[in-house]
Copies of this chain bind each other. A is one copy, B any other.
Amino acid sequence: MAKILITSGPTRQYLDPVRYISNASSGRMGAALAETALRLGHEVVIVTGPVPTTYPSAAQVVPVVTTDEMLAASQSWFARCDGAIGAAAPCDYMPRIVETEKIAKTGAPLTLQLIETPDVVATLGQAKRDDQWVVGFALETNDRRFRATVKLEKKHCDMIISNGPTAIDSDVNDVELLDITGEVVARVKGTKQEVADVLIAEIDRRLIRKTIASGK
């Protein structure tokens, strides 16, 4: 059996003490993956942004708010895990300057300078040991498969799951699973639980058992 880190939900990047940039990620895909992995006897740690979703009680849940916090918690837990699934949608831009007081409206436009946050999955992918694996998600509105293969390589993933924006805050999903060579090895459409069952079965067969078999 394996110990699996799952990142889940959105993160938030505050502009001031009240306003932030985020997305509608609900944590449901992460919860469904955890549910299946636990059922198969794996151990699960979930590093999650703020979500309304309830995670399985058998999972260890580590709550975070910002992308930096998600990265730090994920790095720390990944060292003690066999693999990681990046189901979160971390906010990938943050304001260059965070105001300490609420920005007051003046009637004039406001120019916001955003910089990229660190990439959680890419950082784990780069740091992974030979006996560890990393599975990413790519959420794209256009050129989905092409962009997924680019992310697969750039983030050093062993597999990547390509899905679209309708997956966000939804009960259902429609995904393609690409193996390490970029080949589409599975297509799944259904509830997030049905999708999770197929994804965990593929991860189990292609990554977990392989690692165990090779004695790494």
Contacts and interface: CB of A to CB of B under 8 A. Distances in A.
A19 B93 contact: yes
Copies of chain A in the complex: 2
Contact of A168 (B18, B24, B101, B116): B18
A104 B172 CA distance: 25
Given A18-B168, A114-B112, A102 B141 contact: yes
B115 A93 contact: no
Interface residues of A, number: 39
A111 B109 contact: no
A162 to B, nearest CB: 13
A170 to B, nearest CB: 13
B107 A17 contact: no
Contacts of A113: 109-112
Interface of A: 12, 15-24, 50, 52, 89, 91-93, 96, 100-102, 104-105, 107, 109-116, 139-142, 147, 165, 168
